[in-house]
Structure 1
Amino acid sequence: MEVEPFRNKTEKPSMDHPHTTTSDAARVLRKRRKRRNICFGAIALLVFIIILIIILAFTVFKAKRPVTTVDSVSLSDLNFSVDLARFRVLLNATLDVDLSIKNPNKVGFKYRDSNAQLNYRGQQIGEAPIPAGKISADQTVPMNLTLTVMADRLIYNSRFFSDVTTGGVLPLYAVTRISGKVNVMNLFKIQ
């Protein structure tokens, strides 16, 4: 009985060994090639997936600003009083404002507490809080806000009376700022 000497697995089979055949050597080479090809395929697939995610993050999933549209504004309350001690006229109005906020992103948008402001010639004359929330992908969410207008600030503006008497039109400017995060596949969080 012949005893086969111990050999290392990394060592190639010797052709002068009596129990080694060419079919064994070919089988070992095929196994090595198969393992190497599987590793290369897995690495190539991983690189492809990473490149695909990066391309999608910078094109399709690129964060866009939400679009805010004022649908309607109506006067719900008007308070008028005169402070004779200070020689002031106090005038406050409450407006009901219907907004639509559209999320143009392909992923959901989560926003923090924000506010809507009403300005007259660069001076803030009203403000309404917007509570935090979430808007799904490509969704438009209607919001009803109550905006309190400090109309006495209007009256004390030097151009107010000329705007009212000449054209009857007040140049009001509404600003709504909504800040939040867009979460792309739980990988990228874009503000």
Structure 2
Amino acid sequence: MSSPLQIVVAKRTAAVAAQLAELGRQTFEETFAADNKPEDMTAYLEANFGPEQQMAELQDPAVVFLLAHMQQVPVGYAKLRIGSELGIAEGKSPADRLEVERLYVREDWIGTGLGAALMRRAIEEARMQNCRSVVLGVWEKNERAIEFYRRFGFKVIGEHPFQVGTDIQNDLILRKGL
């Protein structure tokens, strides 16, 4: 018997772009609204989660979206970038690394293992792309996420700024070798 949870590579269609825009807005807001000014959240959501923006990201050949559905309802997603330069030393090639740019699940699915399933699938995608490492950025104040990534073997290798509206925040850069 197959699981009602399905994690698939997202199709590059307008319908999927609209679905990702809605899910992206919902999950980002659920995760960060309490810790950010409303005007900064609004600015970030408007700039990053419109259907047109999602369609452009879907069309990028270096980007892969994994979309998780439970009985045809979208419950989480991951945005992966092949050949990421995040945290790479100057003069090194990004060709053999994959970045998890986003990994979010709906609030009502946190703690169910869905995030872990998405991460396992992201690591599988990195291996299929012949990557030697996976990198990601995580807000230094998001302790739950940092612990989640550590359980998968990620280690801090640096930091970089991340802007939410007018607020410049600090993200840790984490890496896992494959």
Report the TM range for the smaller structure's normalisation.
Answer: under 0.3
Q: Which has the larger radius of gyration?
A: 1
| More strand per residue | 1
| More helix per residue | 2
TM-score (norm 2): 0.21
TM-score (norm 1): 0.20
